Amino acid sequence: MTVEDWARIRHLHQAEGLSQRRIAEELGLARETVARAVRSDRPPRYKPRPPVVGSAWTAVEPAVRSLLAQHPRTPATVLAERVGWTGSVTWFRENVARLRPRYLPVDPADRLAHAPGEQVQCDLWFPPVKVPVGDGQRASLPVLVMVASHSRFLAAVMLPSRRTGDLLAGMWQLLSGQLGAVPRALLWDNEAGIGRGGRLAQGVAGFCGTLATRLVQARPYDPETKDIVERANQYLETSFVPGRTFASPADFNAQLEAWLARANTRTVRALGARPVDLVAADRTAMLPLPPVAPSVGARWLTRLGRDYYVRAGGNDYSADPAVIGRLVEIVMDLERVVITCEGQVVADHARSWANGLTITDPAHVSTAKVLRRRFLTPQPLAEPEQELVRDLAEYDAAFGVTGLDGQVA
């Protein structure tokens, strides 16, 4: 007799008033079974099956326990080979799964409480779509996701790459444009563009110093530390992407910004409130934006070659040929690639998010033609200088040399 049969019998006998004989006929049960159910005021309980004595598993269990005590993560197939198991692999796996938790180290996860303004969690999310980036190319680009841990206020923007300069530019864009304040800590995992092994990538420390904040890197294999932004990534993938098409990265960011305005008005079940209502407390407790914007994007020096092009972000950009052979500085942010030489701008291009392109300013080509024509045109030889003749007596007077008559020449 199952628990469901017992409950049905009790209902028919007490609520419906049917006799035990009638109940047995309707349910197709023995009358004695019905009688036991009527007499019992508790559900039936099943006795656990006693372990099989002398089974094949009993013979190898001590050896399996010994191996698990030394190496608790050893796969079940390896354990079966070590102990010489020849029976059912499925049964062996089930028994190993029952024993393994007793030998694995315990890693409890504490529940974290986040004060207002304390922390913003950051991560990269790669949407399962390829976005047109120009010149017939499509690419799967990273999206920087930042979530205020207290209010769950969500901000995100698509970036051209996961390089340090682009990550810093993206963080500044979200902090200054969407959040409007600076948290006391930015939490990242071990992203290469931010830093690994406890060492920050070049430029990250200066960025944090300008904002007067600190950057905290989560420990490896510790997903609970930044579970808030991980859930936000999943929310974006299941609620934003489906059913959408994107014409360009700018179109992606425009649609994302409009969607975020609605997403931040949803009620977060864990908080029982909406992020848009709690973000004010976050902003009040955060630091104000710095009076001077931090240095973001990528910046480096190189010597301009004869072809007057520089490589930046996977593309070649032209510069003024007049500065060939001189050091130029390239500054690349999310939108522009600017090249300067001794403080003078020698190129200013819109940044392309595609790869392998050659971006040319027609003015630079015209200048190159003029300089090339000038270089190939023979120059007239300069006239020889006239021979300078000077009286030797002037040298005698200067050095005090006397003549034959004893007088100074």
Burial 8-29 (b: 16+ CB within 10 A, else e): bbbebbeeeebebeebbeebeb
- Residue range 120-285 in CATH 3.30.230.10: no
Strands 309-312 and 315-318: antiparallel
C-alpha distance from residue 41 to each of 2, 96, 189 (Å)? 14, 39, 57
Please identify which residue in the block is written with the tokens 């020698």: 346
Provide the residue ranges of all domains of the chain, joining segments of one domain with +: 3-39, 56-102, 120-285, 297-409
64's tokens: 């399996």
Closest CA to 408 of 152, 304, 395: 395
- Please say whether the beta carbons of 37 and 6 come within 8 A: yes
* Per-residue confidence in pLDDT tens, the chain, 409 aa: 788 888 888 888 888 888 888 888 888 888 888 888 888 877 877 666 665 556 788 889 999 999 999 999 999 999 999 999 988 999 999 999 999 999 998 776 666 678 999 999 999 999 999 999 999 999 999 999 999 999 999 999 999 999 999 999 999 999 999 999 999 999 999 899 999 877 899 999 999 999 999 999 988 767 678 889 999 999 999 999 999 999 999 999 999 999 999 999 999 998 899 999 999 999 999 999 999 999 899 999 999 999 999 999 999 999 999 999 999 999 999 999 999 999 999 999 999 999 999 999 999 999 999 999 988 887 776 666 666 666 777 777 777 776 555 554 4
Tokens of 165: 């300069």
Pairwise CA distance, residues 22 & 115, whole Å: 65
Write down the pLDDT at residue 350: 96
Ramachandran bin of 142, using left for φ above 0, alpha for ψ from -120 to 50, beta for the remaining angles: beta
How many Å apart are CA 233 and CA 280, to the nearest integer? Answer: 23
What distance in Å separates the CA atoms of residue 173 and residue 180, rounded to the nearest whole number?
Answer: 10
Q: Calculate the alpha carbon distances from 393 to 386, 398, 400, 402 in Å.
A: 21, 9, 10, 10
